[in-house]
Structure 1
Amino acid sequence: MLVLLPPSETKADGGKGAPLDLDALSFPELNPVRAKLADALVELAADVPASLAALGISARQADEVTRNAQLWTSPTMPALRRYTGVLYDALDIKSFTRAGLAKAQQRLAVTSSLFGVVAATDPIPAYRLSGGNTVPALGTVRGLWKPVLEPVLQNVEGLLVDLRSGTYAAFAKLRADAVTVRVVTEDGDGNRTTVSHFNKAYKGKLAAVLATSRTEPSTVDQLVRVIAKAGLTVEQTGDHALELLTD
């Protein structure tokens, strides 16, 4: 099973790992594009105003440009520790046991504007690049990744669970049997609406359940049982579609 997560705009500072080594990352087929993007961001960082414009950030966020300038030299940390925010707070990788971390490395992956997709413990530096950005020397991030990332993800074996946001889902179309999860709330009349406020938190909780479960599901039915056993309310609404209900 592989669970695809969205990244976060915010990243933790620092790290104790050696500088970026593309050969240390999962999905090595993506390394040529990774190298091209990293080099382009470093070059772009030499022009701070151009970087701010391309990244869609303000002068108050100039530190993000510095991060990009140091992509090849700054320390790294595991991807699930690098990404921060609501989803990753709910995932709470710090609470994982050693066995849980080993399972997470096999079961969780993060879609990334810079790296395409990385496994849970792949060592990455802090950086700034969003899914909707355009890198002047290369074009749109989405356009750069789609032709190379799509075949890689479509060839992933086993159950594939898609928790990506819309921006990152556009990076690659998955196999027809990939499982999608919609976070919903239900009113007193049984009407369900998609949740925005708690969406990331519930996807983080779900990812934690799937990452650390002793049972690794291989079918949608098994997936539903694992989720329900963990205390989350889930319902299958299509052959490969689930709805996760908030409390």
Structure 2
Amino acid sequence: MLILLPPSEGKTPADAGAPVDLAELSFPELTSARQDVAAALAAVSGEDDALTRLGVGSSLLHEVIRNTRLAHEPAAPAHSIYTGVLFDALGYQSLTAGQKRKADSAVVVVSGLWGAVGFADRIPAYRLSMAVGLPGLGKLASYWKPLLAAALSGPAEGQLLVDCRSSTYAAAWVPDADRTVAVNVFTERDGTRKVVSHFAKHTRGELARHLLTRRGKAPETPAQLARAAGEKWTVELVAGTARKAHALNIILAD
């Protein structure tokens, strides 16, 4: 089982430590592409219109400035750099040692800067959305799509992929539909369903935690995943097609 997560928008910078070593990150086939994206990001982040081009407000200027010196910024494991609703609900720090090892091997974060990283990979804090376009590279989702397909197809082979990514990050890699289950979250009142992004992030984080902490074997099929999620929520599994992933719909009472 692999759990696919989006990065958090905000990051918690490491207090100290050695800078990132690109050669030590998971999926080393992406090293050259990571260098190219980091260089383009540094160049854009040093321009007068950097905030506009990166789609952020003036309150995040310090994060954009950090983009210009990522090669020298202290790095820390991705699970401590990525923070926010989803990652708080996953609660890596409160896992047992065995559960942390499971998370380190099972969780893959798809990233606009790194392409994809493992949960234990050491990275610095940065600011870059997959929706951004960079000079010479274009829109990042399109840039990464063939590269991630080549780098992740091997590790994903034979695995159940629990896809908790948002649509922006899901566009950067479309894995084999037969082995992929996209996780959707709805609230329901009087038979009417609504999608709510805040609760979706939180619930996806809770689902990731449940899969990492529950006893027994990890789910290997969409049906087994639905049964595992059904231990905690009301769920329905919508079968996929040859080109469309299965969908696990988690229904929360409004």
TM-score (norm 2): 0.89
Task: Deviation per CA, 1:1-24: give whole Å up to 9, x if none.
Answer: 101011111000224442010122
Matched, 1:245 2:251: yes
Offset at 1:164?
0.7
Contact 2:85 2:198 in 1 (8 A): no
Offset at 1:151?
3.0
Q: Secondary structure at the match of 1:11?
A: coil
Quote the Cα distance in structure 2 between the aligned partners of 1:162 and 1:34: 23
Q: Could you tell me which amino acid in structure 2 is paired with residue 164 of structure 1?
A: R
Matched, 1:173 2:174: yes
Matched, 1:186 2:193: no
Task: Deviation per CA, 1:105-153: give whole Å up to 9, x if none.
Answer: 1111111000011111111101111111111242221221112112333
Quote the Cα distance in structure 1 between the aligned partners of 2:198 and 2:39: 36
Structure 2, unmatched stretches of 5+, are 241-245
Offset at 1:235?
2.1
Q: Could you tell me which amino acid in structure 2 is paired with residue 118 of structure 1?
A: V
Residue 160 of structure 1 corresponds to which residue in structure 2?
161
Task: Deviation per CA, 1:170-218: give whole Å up to 9, x if none.
Answer: 1121211111111112223x34333333111101100111223342111
CA RMSD of aligned residues (A): 1.7
Decide whether aligned partners of structure 1 residues 98 and 62 sit closer, same or farther in structure 2, where only a CA change above 3 A counts: same
Task: Deviation per CA, 1:6-62: give whole Å up to 9, x if none.
Answer: 111100022444201012211111111111111222233333x13223212233321
Quote the Cα distance in structure 1 between the aligned partners of 2:85 and 2:172: 22
Residue 146 of structure 1 corresponds to which residue in structure 2?
145
TM-score (norm 1): 0.92
Contact 2:27 2:152 in 1 (8 A): no
Q: Secondary structure at the match of 1:70?
A: helix
Matched ranges for 1:126-145 at <5 A: 126-145=125-144
| Percentage of pairs with the same residue | 45
Structure 1, unmatched stretches of 5+, are none
Q: Could you tell me which amino acid in structure 2 is paired with residue 224 of structure 1?
A: A
Contact 1:20 1:124 in 2 (8 A): yes
Paired residues, what number? 244
Offset at 1:221?
2.2
Residue 206 of structure 1 corresponds to which residue in structure 2?
207
Q: Secondary structure at the match of 2:203?
A: helix
Quote the Cα distance in structure 2 between the aligned partners of 1:89 and 1:146: 28
Contact 1:34 1:116 in 2 (8 A): yes
Contact 1:202 1:246 in 2 (8 A): no
Decide whether aligned partners of structure 1 residues 50 and 191 sit closer, same or farther in structure 2, where only a CA change above 3 A counts: closer
Decide whether aligned partners of structure 1 residues 242 and 60 sit closer, same or farther in structure 2, where only a CA change above 3 A counts: closer
